[in-house]
Structure 1
Amino acid sequence: MSTRHLTSLSPFTTLSKQPLFPFPTSLNLFSRFPLSSPNYSSFSASVSASSMASEAKKVLVPIANGTEPMEAVITIDVLRRAGAEVTVASVEKGLQVDACHSVKIVADALINDCSQMVFDLISLPGGMPGASTLKDSATLKSMVEKQAAEGRLHAAICAAPAVALGSWGLLKGLKATCYPSFMEQLSSSATAVESRVQQDGTVVTSRGPGTAMEYSVTLVEQLYGKEKADGVAGPLITRSNHEDEYLIRELNSMQWTFIDCPQILVPIADGSEEMEAVIIIDVLRRAKAKVVVASVGEKLEILASRNVKLVADMHLDDAAQSSYDLIVLPGGLGGAQAFAASEKLVEMLKKQRESNKPYGAICASPALVFEPHGLLKGKKATAFPAMCNKLSDPSEIENRVVVDGNLITSRGPGTSMEFALAIVEKFFGRQKAIELAKVMLFVNP
């Protein structure tokens, strides 16, 4: 048995400790928004008369072809968890965009449909050429300029601070950060700093995919206050101390093998946790694995747990015609329930186990899919904290990632990056995983 770990993270910086907007009281997310509660609506022509709707902050997240999917989806997911009314707007001609790493996202609206709306926050994801397309959108430029002029919160991550906000002249005299390769460009339009997250006045900037969770929680704090931000971060199982090394618990070590490149199946369904799915897909495709995203439902488009619309590559029945070096399940209550009810998927997983080939799951899926179908028999595993009482062997549940031979499990959205990197490490080696973690800014470059 061994405990392995990667290099450490540096702390992120937020200049202002005071929220930009008042927040009356903290809410317990589990009591008010339990796992079984309906998802938030992301775009609506009318405003609900309920007190929740009246308290909700309005947020715009524009996306384009070439947008970094982790940065977009993590931001949307976290802000919706906080109760924000998030509109995902395409700056392309259609609603569906082809994000980086062949992740397909369907927006709620076109940017021109949002031009007359007032938002408490506009947050720009990075990724290239997505950030350039955002910059070239006259409608978006006008909206963000008005946002700045009226003193409302605006933010950007990765390439977008330099490529969009900086080029629009919105960072003059401000401290800002961005992806390392764009720092020189940023320095011509702002005081460039290397903070993981930087807030200066009504502007928040951040560095890349590996800082997106911290960035998103900071946006919650600016909209709703620190107490609410802490309440959102807790259930995410975010890392509390970014100076500590993150750990991978491995038992019964075995070599994971493949021919040419790993063939990996990632099933998705209505109710799948979008952060977990997108992080897994994105990271594994960065590592040059061949990832097939398969819909367990009737349609290729699925509505994830926080109303993000993702499009699969194919249906599960078609994906089942091939064999895989790894089958890995994202969590999300509705998605896990759909997986458990899919005879085809359960059959594939059982064959994977019988063949001693790798399989894995995160969040609710170890407890709701693997445990009832005997896929954890004789294995150590972890799961989302609220689901761990369903595991017959809870001896390793406190670990963020557990590898037991050909099985890998993890806890939740905030452990998804470590989970994906552990898979990379098992297939490609520790050095490859560390290099990838540095590129994504999950660890110091």
Structure 2
Amino acid sequence: MALRHLTPLSPFTTLTHRIPSFHATSRRQTLISFSVMASAARKVLVPIANGTEPMEAVITIDVLRRAGADVTVASIEKQLSVDACHGIKIVADALISDFVDTVFDLISLPGGMPGATNLKDNNVLEGIVKKQVLEGQLYAAICAAPAVALGSWGLLKGLKATCYPAFMEQLSSSSAITVESRVQKDGKAITSRGPGTAMEYSVALVEQLFGKEKADEVSGPLLMPSKQNDQFIVSELNKVPWTISSGPKILVPIADGSEEMEAVMIIDVLRRAKAEVVVASIGDKLEILASRKVKLIADMLLDEAAKLSYDLIVLPGGLGGAQEFASSEPLVNLLKKQSESDRYYGAICASPALVLEPHGLLKGKKATAFPAMCNKLSDPSEAENRVVVDGKLITSRGPGTSLEFSLAIVEKLLGRDKALEIANAMLVV
């Protein structure tokens, strides 16, 4: 989430302010050179295509940017906007053709179908990745992409690798040594299994680029689960059944500064459950710039979305996004109407504390939020729980609890069997 923007002046910037460039001694010039080298960001390429799995792309981008990597999101299509899976639209930073001669420290391919096939069929990308391998640089892929792209290009021969279970046979036929690890590293190749392993995979990439200390620093605020199991644990109080007359209709507002991982995971999971999810921008344009500079395109503006009725309204977090939500009179009015009409609403990360609490939407309710925000809750007695359901309200803690949060919503609306079906397909459990 975007609670901490850890971008202080680099060591080089600090030194240049302290040491006049024309009067520096040789020793000081050496210190500056070392500082430049130490502060040089690792360059990472994340190509995306129509049909890319949005969780795998966005989580990778978000986590690597948290670590300080210079991540370029490149579209292999003819335009920057990409139609990812589950109706999620992502806007790339540039086109893949701009990077034929660029040297990267890491290239990471997201999965998704037909996204992985589209990546595989792009000759420019194939040339860039093969050059990456020849130069001994890190390369990685998740879900279908290890088998469909890297394997087809002959880049996993003799290496231990994993992928989405349905593609293991294809991976084996590429002469890779198949393993069922959630994340597998062999030499310069890193592979992983699917959406439910994307955060582990991304932290593993951080460790390869920056070391374990940085990986631990980044993973802490993510609030990743301590272990994988077959239970997504929910603390539920004042238990009531969530009843809907037909397929659930859900509003997910987004704004500049929204935490992209949380937004994308919520939308992705709920659409997998066949819910009708409306993604609404609270600004005056459909495209928003999320907390880690991922560009997402909403389905409609909030003014239009507010004309409709929803079974559930659910807010992603991100400090900037939550502040935008809290100051949006139309959104606050919509949330109050939702509560007064005895319908369902929820929030994650900064949003319970910064949106729901100050507008009276947590009155008499138990809730949780991002740890640094829990002191703003009037009743933090359940705040240590990863997901809290109190009657018709659901709240959660942060990026690493987003899948549990989303699956808990599916369970409340559509039953535990449906939630477990989705969790198993995504390799969450």
Q: TM-score, normalised by structure 1?
A: 0.88
Task: Return 231-240 or 100-109, whichever deviates more.
Answer: 231-240
Q: How does 1:302-321 map to 2 (within 5 A)?
A: 302-321=288-307
- What letter corresponds to residue 4 of structure 2 in structure 1? L
Q: Determine the C-alpha separation between the residues in 1 that align with 2:8 and 2:166.
A: 37
Return the match for 2:417 from 431, 437, 440: 431
Assess if the C-alpha contact under 8 Å between 2:3 and 2:319 holds in 1: no
Give, in angstroms, the shift of residue 245 of structure 1: 3.9
- Secondary structure in 2 matching 1:247: coil
Deviations 1:344-368 (A, max 9, x none): 0000100111111100000000000
- What letter corresponds to residue 327 of structure 1 in structure 2? I
Q: Determine the C-alpha separation between the residues in 1 that align with 2:244 and 2:366.
A: 24
Query: Is residue 2:143 matched to residue 1:174?
Result: no
Deviations 1:181-234 (A, max 9, x none): 101100111111111111101000000000000000000000011111011000
Return the match for 2:285 from 282, 299, 321: 299
- Secondary structure in 2 matching 1:199: strand
Q: Determine the C-alpha separation between the residues in 2 that align with 1:337 and 1:67.
A: 30
Q: How does 1:364-443 map to 2 (within 5 A)?
A: 364-443=350-429
Return the match for 2:213 from 227, 233, 243: 227
Assess if the C-alpha contact under 8 Å between 1:36 and 1:333 holds in 2: no
- What letter corresponds to residue 276 of structure 2 in structure 1? K
Return the match for 1:336 from 313, 316, 322: 322
Unaligned runs of 5+ in 1: 1-29, 41-48
Assess if the C-alpha contact under 8 Å between 1:62 and 1:124 holds in 2: yes
Return the match for 2:73 from 77, 80, 88: 88
Q: Determine the C-alpha separation between the residues in 2 that align with 1:247 and 1:52.
A: 45
Query: Is residue 2:294 matched to residue 1:325?
Result: no
| Number of equivalences | 404
Return the match for 1:184 from 169, 181, 187: 169
Question: Which ranges of 4 or more aligned residues in structure 1 deviate by more than 4 Å?
Answer: 36-40, 49-53
Query: Is residue 2:339 matched to residue 1:353?
Result: yes
Task: Return 241-250 or 145-154, whichever deviates more.
Answer: 241-250
Identity score, percent: 75
Q: Who wins on radius of gyration, i.e. which is larger?
A: 2
Give, in angstroms, the shift of residue 415 of structure 1: 0.3
1:407–1:51 Cα change, 3 Å: farther
Q: Which residue of 2 aligns with 1:45?
A: none
- What letter corresponds to residue 202 of structure 1 in structure 2? K
Deviations 1:323-381 (A, max 9, x none): 00000000000000000000000001001111111000000000000000000000000
- What letter corresponds to residue 418 of structure 1 in structure 2? E
Assess if the C-alpha contact under 8 Å between 1:63 and 1:97 holds in 2: yes
Return the match for 2:245 from 251, 259, 280: 259
1:193–1:343 Cα change, 3 Å: same
Assess if the C-alpha contact under 8 Å between 1:39 and 1:305 holds in 2: no
Q: Which residue of 1 aligns with 2:266?
A: 280
**Larger RCO (CA within 8 A; separation ≥ 6):** 1
Assess if the C-alpha contact under 8 Å between 2:316 and 2:347 holds in 1: yes
Q: Comparing both structures, which one devotes a greater share of its residues to helix?
A: 2
Q: Determine the C-alpha separation between the residues in 2 that align with 1:428 and 1:364.
A: 27
Query: Is residue 2:69 matched to residue 1:100?
Result: no
Deviations 1:154-192 (A, max 9, x none): 000000000000000000000100001101100111111
C-alpha RMSD over aligned residues: 1.7
Q: Which residue of 2 aligns with 1:123?
A: 108
Task: Return 82-91 or 186-195, whichever deviates more.
Answer: 186-195
- What letter corresponds to residue 112 of structure 1 in structure 2? S
Q: Determine the C-alpha separation between the residues in 1 that align with 2:143 and 2:79.
A: 24
Q: Determine the C-alpha separation between the residues in 2 that align with 1:51 and 1:318.
A: 49
- Secondary structure in 2 matching 1:186: helix
Query: Is residue 2:21 matched to residue 1:35?
Result: no
Assess if the C-alpha contact under 8 Å between 1:382 and 1:394 holds in 2: yes
Q: TM-score, normalised by structure 2?
A: 0.92
Deviations 1:96-134 (A, max 9, x none): 000000000000000001111110000000001110110
